[in-house]
């Protein structure tokens, strides 16, 4: 699908050489002109940023990302370097970091694998293999276990049924199976949840959720909440939310990354960068609708300095 609901689009008139020169000037000598850096990098799309990096190397024999790393610091540096990562490598890189070293970042695995389309997941697996000479599924199964691992493996197969008309009889059957596997059973048959939620088409599952509500009197989310726990519960809920609406899922993810004390900057940066050319306009709309304030206001209140300026430029406007 061609995404057209991003806040960042191709900049025109675009001149990679001029941008490269401006960036070099901003970082050369004593002190850095952060304003120039953030303005250029947040207003060019990813393909244009790659052209700038290439022009930068051609003109100065220097690596733009290395220069950004040596001139910038903290969250602002992380954000600028993330913007420079080629779009197709972005998810593979995030997953690699989620499973490397001590401890696994289940949150990142959940967010990416629950929200990406089957075509995107296939692409991530290929890129992972090319970039890191390793099999993503092997890496993930090595770091996870139990039903959480099984659902991740199902999602990694990227074999969700295509959306091709809904079979009402199968809708009824799936809703009944889920009801019997959860609410009606002592203990839970997690496998049924994993198979149905991991493989059925999006339009089919939306009907299943409605039918489930009719049969059981509960939203499927309430049942998952009661019947499962830990990482599996979070992943099942993420899958359900993404089936209902990917932008609403990301609006909620952004809201909780900033709500309360402290900010989960890794999540904030990852979502803002990865969705900026895809559906950030829709995410902003859902945010406004569901949280009674705009994404712009929350970023404004929760962040500061050049980091804030850059995030607000990526956000692309206020919805109040």
Architecture of domain 168-244: Orthogonal Bundle (1.10)
Q: 258-281, pLDDT tens digit by residue? A: 998 889 999 999 999 999 999 999
**Mean local confidence (pLDDT), 61-82:** 98
The answer to whether the CB of 242 falls within 8 A of the CB of 249 is yes
Helix crossing, 280-291 with 246-258: angle to 10°? 60
Q: What is the pLDDT of residue 195?
A: 96
Share of the chain above pLDDT 90, in %: 91
The percentage of the chain sitting over the pLDDT mark of 70, rounded to a whole number, equals 99
- Residue extent(s) of CATH 1.10.220.10 domains in the chain: 16-87, 88-157, 168-244, 246-315
274, 93 contact by CB (below 8 A): no
Residues in the chain: 320
Whether residue 190 contacts residue 236, with contact meaning beta carbons closer than 8 Å, is answered with no
- Residue with the bigger pLDDT between 43 and 261: it is 43
Instruction: Identify the CATH number of the domain defined by range 16-87.
Output: 1.10.220.10
Contact between 171 and 145 under an 8 Å Cβ cutoff? The reply is no
Instruction: Indicate the pTM of the whole model.
Output: 0.94
- What pLDDT was estimated at residue 158? 95
- Lowest-pLDDT choice from 20-24, 56-60, 103-107, 129-133: 103-107
What's the pLDDT tens digit per position in 278-320?
Answer: 999 999 999 999 999 999 999 999 999 999 999 999 999 998 7
Report the pLDDT value the prediction gives residue 1, as an integer from 0 to 100: 45
pLDDT band at residue 79 using 50, 70 and 90 as cut-offs: very high
The architecture CATH gives domain 246-315:
Orthogonal Bundle (1.10)
Residue range 206-260, pLDDT digits in tens: 999 999 999 999 999 999 999 999 999 999 999 999 999 999 999 999 999 999 8
Question: Residue 30: pLDDT band by 50, 70, 90 thresholds?
Answer: confident
pLDDT at 187 over 80: no
Which structure tokens are listed for 178? 């889920």
Fold classification of 88-157 is Annexin V; domain 1 (1.10.220)
């Amino acid at each position: 699908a061609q995404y057209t609901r991003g806040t960042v689009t191709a900049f025109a008139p675009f001149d990679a050489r001029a941008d490269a020169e401006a960036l070099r000037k901003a970082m050369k000598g004593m002190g850095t002109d952060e304003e120039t850096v953030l303005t250029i990098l947040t207003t060019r799309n990813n393909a244009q940023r790659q052209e700038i990096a290439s022009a930068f190397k051609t003109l100065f024999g220097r690596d733009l990302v290395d220069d950004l790393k040596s001139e910038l610091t903290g969250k602002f540096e992380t954000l600028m370097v993330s913007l420079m990562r080629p779009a197709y490598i972005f998810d593979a890189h995030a997953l690699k970091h989620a499973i490397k070293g001590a401890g696994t970042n289940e949150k990142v695995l959940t967010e990416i694998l629950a929200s990406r389309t089957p075509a995107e997941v296939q692409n991530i697996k290929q890129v992972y293999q090319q970039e890191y000479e390793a099999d993503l599924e092997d890496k993930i199964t090595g770091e996870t276990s139990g039903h959480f691992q099984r659902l991740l493996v199902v999602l990694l197969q990227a074999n969700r049924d295509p959306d091709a008309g809904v079979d009402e009889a199968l809708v009824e059957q799936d809703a009944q199976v889920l009801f019997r596997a959860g609410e009606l059973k002592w203990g839970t048959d997690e496998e049924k949840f994993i198979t149905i939620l991991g493989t059925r088409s999006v339009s089919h599952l939306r009907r299943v959720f409605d039918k489930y509500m009719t049969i059981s009197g509960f939203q499927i989310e309430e049942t998952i909440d009661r019947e499962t726990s830990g990482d599996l519960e979070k992943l099942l809920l993420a899958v359900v939310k993404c089936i209902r609406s990917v932008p609403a899922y990301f609006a909620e993810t952004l809201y909780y990354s900033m709500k309360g004390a402290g900010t989960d900057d890794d999540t904030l940066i990852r979502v803002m960068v990865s969705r900026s050319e895809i559906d950030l306009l829709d995410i902003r709309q859902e945010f406004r609708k569901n949280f009674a304030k705009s994404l712009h206001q929350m970023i404004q209140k929760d962040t500061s300095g050049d980091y804030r300026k850059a995030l607000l430029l990526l956000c692309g406007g206020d919805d109040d």
